[in-house]
Structure 1
């Protein structure tokens, strides 16, 4: 199994760089499979989300849909996919972004009684303002 960095995923999704996108596509579509998947960390998912929203101006609903696709793709094995699915489910119906929702989800998984933040937008993710 090989690990995949954010830029590989972004090049594949956006097809915005002719050479790198072609290389990423070849890797993902011809070299990865259900028996030989590419590993994607939760950090990579957060970075992909951030890049797509901040740099490519995609709406949150589009980003959620893309991340759900990544989680469902047989060529990928996502770290703690169960937590990522939970965060996406909550994120889709809340005003918060994926990263804040994932933080709250992971903290809940580790039995935190609450998650504190200074970010007013993160309150909808299950966090509380300090």
Structure 2
């Protein structure tokens, strides 16, 4: 199995660099259930931040892109269920995706709440 870096996933999704995008598309086309690629949580968090900051995509657009990655049987997504929960909360508003991942991870670990100085994260109904 081969792990993916953010820049390859980004080129595949946004198609903004023709040579790199073509290589990313070809790479994704070569994947299969038997020969998948690995996508770690950190890459997904980085991808969301880049899509927000550099590409100014809406939460709905970003959530749809992450949904597509989660649905791809040719990808082994680290903590797929956790990422899915975080992206659903992110889609609904409130704290950013990274904060949603922290909250979902804390809940899975059995934590009642997350102690934070981030007022928005502390006020969300998703923070426990």
After TM superposition, the score normalised by the length of structure 2 is: 0.92
Cα shift at 1:25? 0.8
Distance 1:54 1:65 in 2: 17
Any conservation in 2 of the 1:96–1:125 contact (CA below 8 Å)?
Answer: no
Corresponding residue for residue 39 of structure 1: 38
Deviates more, 1:32-41 or 1:111-120: 111-120
Any conservation in 1 of the 2:89–2:126 contact (CA below 8 Å)?
Answer: no
Q: Which runs of 4+ in 1 moved over 2 A?
A: 125-128
Cα shift at 1:112? 1.6
Gaps of 5+ in 2: none
Corresponding residue for residue 99 of structure 2: 100
Corresponding residue for residue 48 of structure 1: 47
Distance 2:49 2:8 in 1: 15
Any conservation in 1 of the 2:11–2:20 contact (CA below 8 Å)?
Answer: yes
Distance 1:109 1:68 in 2: 20
Could you list the per-position Cα deviations for residues 72-102 of structure 1 after superposition, in whole angstroms to 9, with x for gaps in the alignment? Answer: 0122110010111111222222322211111
Could you list the per-position Cα deviations for residues 32-82 of structure 1 after superposition, in whole angstroms to 9, with x for gaps in the alignment? Answer: 111111100011110111110110000111111110111001221100101
After TM superposition, the score normalised by the length of structure 1 is: 0.91
RMSD: 1.4
Corresponding residue for residue 6 of structure 1: 6
Aligned partner of residue 117 in structure 1, secondary structure:
coil
Cα shift at 1:113? 2.4
